[in-house]
Amino acid sequence: MIIPDLFRLNDWSTRRFNLFIWSILVAYDFSFISNVPLYSIEILSKILGFVILTFIPGYIILRIFKVHDIDRVVTLLLAVGLSLSFIMIFGFTVNMFLPYIGVSKPISTFPLFYSLNISILVLMIICYFRDKEFNSSQNQLRITFSPMLFYLILLPLFSIFGTESVNHYNFNVPVLILLFVISLSPILIALDRISRDLYPFMILSISLAILYNMNLISTHLWSYDIFYEAHTSKYVLENGIWNPGNKTMVPLLLFTILSPVYSLICDLNVIWVFKIIFPFFFSLTPLALYYVYKELDFGNYKIDSEIAMLSVFVFIFFYGFYKDMPDKQHIAELFLALILILSIFNTQKRILLFIFSFSLVVSHYGISYFFVFSLIFVSMMSRFRVNADTSFLTPTYTLLFSVLTFSWYIYISAGDVFEVITQVGYHFLSGIKDIFQANDDGRSASAYLSYLSNGILWVIYMLIHLILQFFISIGVLNLLLSIMHKKTKSFEISLLTIIFYAFLFVQFFKTYGMGLDRILQITLILLSPLSIWGYSFCVKNLNSVYARIISKRIYRNKENGNLNLIFESTLTRNEAINKNHITNLSKKARLCFSIFLMIFFVFNSGFIFWMTGYPLPGYCININPNSGWPVYSESEICGVDWLKSHENEHNKIAVFNQWDTIKSRDGLLVAENFYSKDLIPIQTNTTTLYNSYLFLGKYSVDKVEDGEEDVDLQDTLFYNSTLKNSNKIYNSEKSHLYLAE
């Protein structure tokens, strides 16, 4: 079957390209202005809005910069990255300048609608004059239907079905089937059961299936940091403008601009922007990494398509990939992957590198600063590059990225985040002298090693992770040797990989405010291929021992009725290694690693724990929504909505919270609608509370946290001294509101 190649819109003829873009834009504008859904199907208008924001600006910009005739999937990735970057820059510009012409709420429906249309019109005019001479080269896509293609298409759909069965019927069998089927994917790769042409689609399908299976649990947000970020987006939507000096908001364009724009243009509640659209963005990160891995050349280790696929599964199957709703860290990883793609493919379009670098900076401050430090290390070591491929990761780029990073956080964020990061850097340097003293904050690797009291399966789970880290460590040692012997072609990427591993290694002892799982999830971006290199090194050394053994043959020689044992060196070691059984062992070795990945996923996903009756990891809410991560009932959500509609300046809001920052279950839900630092934290021994609302969720109506234990609410000092004398003003099955006067 031959269809128009939508992945290569930038390679279409000018006339055909213009007709396609204007058709989509006119259809959306008609639906928007008339407020009539296309063909009476409301979701079509939302899909058109999504297409216009996610793809159209990127393809136009690619034509403006005359980017043509590159891989179709890489083209798609660049187009999406450019579209997201454009929306953030466009929204930021609209937010800053429209108030000067009398538009008091620039981030609202009609100002954004008209501004977006004008912006796309301007881009199309520039595109016409810049690229009108281009002759169409790639405009058709041949699709071969096969059972495997249908399987990959159905996988995300079955994932959604499984999630809905948990949401409505608390029936998790479809989810368990999905997790087991996904775990078999690396084995299918190792057995060559999937065409290499389907590798990119397979990555996208499995990524979407895993992410939607988690993110669509509940009709509301879950996880942790996402509640603070949702508060920022909701604040912008309510006020119609973002004030960079407002300290109550997360100063990232991802939440002040991108999510509000998607919410307004797609006519979608911002909650569903986080639950549907952001996971799609993050699902592109493994796809981008696949193309990065395929081009890596470490000298002694050249990655083929199959190894690149298995490396991607290391990244996807680690629970850090899906344990949280995709937020600032995950979208920043997409831009980091796009920067790596530009470095690998060397498209000679340095403006694209600048755009993605800016987008990384305004998406996540942690990854931005870490990348700055990594680039400084690469720049210092670049003088030792010999016979390596050229790259954008030069000292000039390091300076550019550093200026972008520090300028944004000093001038736009009023220096607050910069001050925090500076303190972290000082703490890092001052802590080198005692780096080998274990941190007991509960988030370092040494602290995780103490979580082995739940049974033998948890011990095995920990051992599996240790085995993966062992393989990665061996791979890093091999990479260091390759750099020292000046064999690696991907020199800058190799140096980045080394610094990524160094950062991960430090986390074993000190977390610096970031959990080990978060750091591992970030560093696996470059460390995943090294796990297979380390595994391959171990197999080859075992293979060498085996080759020496089989190079001597034991046979019986019957002569004159006597039986003599003769050891004959019939093969040299090199000859033995070249025999077919060694080649077969190589395939078997890949199959063994695929089986390891299968085991890795059934443990990380919680499948094996549920099947054996062990306690689930807290993040496995797709199997059991009550496994630990905060998932909220409709009753609780309605309680907070009622509180939001009845807030006033005379009464503050209190929640049970025993930490320095608001991160209790009740506190997170309330922080979605109210500035977290304005909330009053209540503990079991609190004795006074005046002129305040107190919100109690489905757990705290009965029990509250007191240190490491849960105690009955009515047995606490706070209840007997304050709460029982307060007025209950809202009561539902799973949430209560009190007014303490």
**pLDDT of 741:** 81
Residue 739 near residue 693 (C-beta atoms within 8 A): yes
State the amino acid at position 524 in one-letter form: L
**pLDDT of 585:** 46
Range scoring the smallest mean pLDDT among 317-331, 441-455, 709-723: 441-455
Residue with the bigger pLDDT between 438 and 295: it is 295
**pLDDT of 550:** 66
Question: Two tokens at 577?
Answer: 């290694």
CA distance readout (Å), 429 to 10, 405, 422, 425, 435: 48, 20, 11, 6, 10
Q: What number is the average pLDDT over the span 469-485?
A: 92
680 three-class SS: strand
> Which residues, in sequence order, are bridge partners of residue 703?
712
- pLDDT tier at 450 (50, 70, 90 boundaries)? low
Domain extents in the chain: 2-141, 144-220+252-257+266-533, 538-612, 634-740
Residue 53: is its pLDDT beyond 80?
yes
Q: Closest Cα partner for 131 from 71, 63, 186?
A: 63
Residue 82 near residue 354 (C-beta atoms within 8 A): no
Residue 74: is its pLDDT beyond 50?
yes
Give the CA count within 13 Å in the CB-facing half-sphere of 385: 21
Residues ≥6 apart with Cβ < 8 Å to 170: 625
- pLDDT tier at 564 (50, 70, 90 boundaries)? very low
> Which residues, in sequence order, are bridge partners of residue 142?
2
pLDDT in tens, 189-213: 999 999 999 999 999 999 999 999 9
State the amino acid at position 737 in one-letter form: L
**pLDDT of 583:** 35
**pLDDT of 505:** 86
| Geometric angle at alpha carbon 518, from 165 and 88, rounded to 5° | 80
Q: What number is the average pLDDT over the span 240-244?
A: 92
DSSP label of 617: P
Question: Two tokens at 71?
Answer: 């891989």
pLDDT in tens, 143-158: 888 899 999 999 999 9
Ramachandran class of 455: left when φ > 0, alpha when ψ lies in -120 to 50, beta otherwise: left
**pLDDT of 392:** 67
DSSP label of 741: -
pLDDT in tens, 4-19: 888 899 999 888 999 9
Residue 55 near residue 6 (C-beta atoms within 8 A): no
Residue with the bigger pLDDT between 482 and 87: it is 87
Residue 582 near residue 543 (C-beta atoms within 8 A): yes
What is the distance between the alpha carbons of residues 463 and 723, in angstroms, rounded to a whole number? Answer: 47
**pLDDT of 339:** 94
723 three-class SS: helix
What is the distance between the alpha carbons of residues 211 and 217, in angstroms, rounded to a whole number? Answer: 10
DSSP class per residue in 488-555: -S-HHHHHHHHHHHHHHHHHTT--TTS-HHHHHHHHHHHHHHHHHHHHHHHHHHHHHHHHHHHTEEEE
pLDDT in tens, 211-226: 999 999 999 999 889 9
Residue with the bigger pLDDT between 181 and 403: it is 181
Residue 658: is its pLDDT beyond 60?
yes
pLDDT in tens, 566-625: 333 333 444 444 443 333 447 888 899 999 999 999 999 999 999 999 989 999 999 999
Residue 438: is its pLDDT beyond 60?
no
Question: With pLDDT > 70 as the criterion, what percentage of the chain qualifies?
Answer: 85
Looking only at Cα atoms, what is the longest distance across the chain?
112
**pLDDT of 453:** 57
pLDDT in tens, 285-311: 999 999 999 988 887 788 889 999 999
For the chain, what is the total number of helices (H) and then of strands (E)? 30, 11
**pLDDT of 569:** 39
Range of 214-218, 444-448, 682-686 with top mean pLDDT = 214-218
What is the distance between the alpha carbons of residues 388 and 479, in angstroms, rounded to a whole number? Answer: 14
Sign, Cα dihedral of 32, 34, 37, 39 = negative
Mean pLDDT of the chain: 85
